């Protein structure tokens, strides 16, 4: 109800301004000077009435209600009341968690790479040739480790380092086999003299 009263009062003031302009035109027949003064005052009253109507409309808008009809027609708003475009939401990209590096011994069997973890066995047909590509030890450089195929000698001058050599599984030294069938052989991963891990080759 308070907004209706505000609009009514504003219209009354505007009406007084319009009435003053009409009377000023009538006074012009009597005194030109008085007519000019009356028109000026009437215009001031008319402007004040319009501004009052506008203020009531803004107050109504701030209360979450629709503006008055005059405000909607003239489209006059406070700068802070202008709706600014909402900036696009920033998309948070969640990267997949990287898995910690694991210990692996990489053995090539006829072009196929096999990754063996500690204590794992690799079955190879007897007579096939294999090659130890490398051993990955988390936190330890490649030059600080040795990979020794027990039962094979790659280079007699380099003890316990068999990476990169072609190993004929039919010519392994049988006395180093771990079982009576002479079919299971051990590969050691060493750091200095410490054995870090063992993997096994089973000949079938």
CB atoms within 10 A of CB 70: 17
Q: Which residues of the chain have pLDDT under 70?
A: 1-4, 6-7, 62-85, 87, 90, 92-100
Q: Are residues 109 and 198 in the same domain?
A: yes
Quick check: 48 and 40 in contact, CB under 8 A?
Answer: no
The Cα 175–Cα 180 span in angstroms is 10
Q: With respect to residue 136, please indicate whether it lies within any of the assigned structural domains.
A: yes
* Residue 196 and residue 125 share a domain: yes
Helix axes 2-27, 32-62, angle to 10 degrees: 170
Mark which of 23, 50, 81 sits at the end of a domain.
81
Query: So what's the pLDDT on residue 148?
Result: 95
Q: Does 96 map to a domain?
A: no
**97 within some domain:** no
Tell me which residue range forms the domain holding 131: 104-203
Answer whether residue 94 is part of any domain: no
Note if the pTM is more than 0.85.
no
């Amino acid at each position: 109800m308070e907004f209706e009263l505000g609009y009514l009062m504003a219209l009354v003031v505007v009406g007084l301004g319009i009435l003053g302009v009409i009377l000023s035109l009538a006074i012009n027949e009597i005194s030109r000077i008085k007519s000019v003064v009356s028109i000026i005052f009437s215009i001031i009253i008319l402007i004040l009435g319009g501004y009052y109507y506008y203020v009531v409309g803004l107050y109504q808008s701030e209360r979450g209600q629709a503006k008055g009809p005059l405000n909607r027609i003239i489209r006059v708003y406070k700068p802070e009341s202008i709706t600014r475009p909402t900036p696009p939401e920033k998309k948070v990209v969640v990267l997949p968690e990287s898995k910690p590096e694991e210990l692996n011994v990489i053995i090539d069997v006829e072009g196929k790479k096999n990754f063996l973890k500690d204590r794992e066995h690799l079955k190879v047909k007897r007579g096939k040739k294999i090659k130890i590509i490398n051993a990955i030890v988390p936190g330890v450089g490649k030059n600080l480790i040795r990979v020794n195929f027990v039962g094979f000698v790659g280079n007699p001058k380099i003890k316990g380092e068999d990476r990169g050599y072609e190993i004929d599984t039919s010519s392994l030294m049988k006395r180093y086999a771990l079982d009576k069938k002479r079919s299971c052989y051990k590969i050691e991963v060493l750091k200095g003299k410490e054995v870090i891990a063992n993997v096994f080759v089973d000949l079938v």
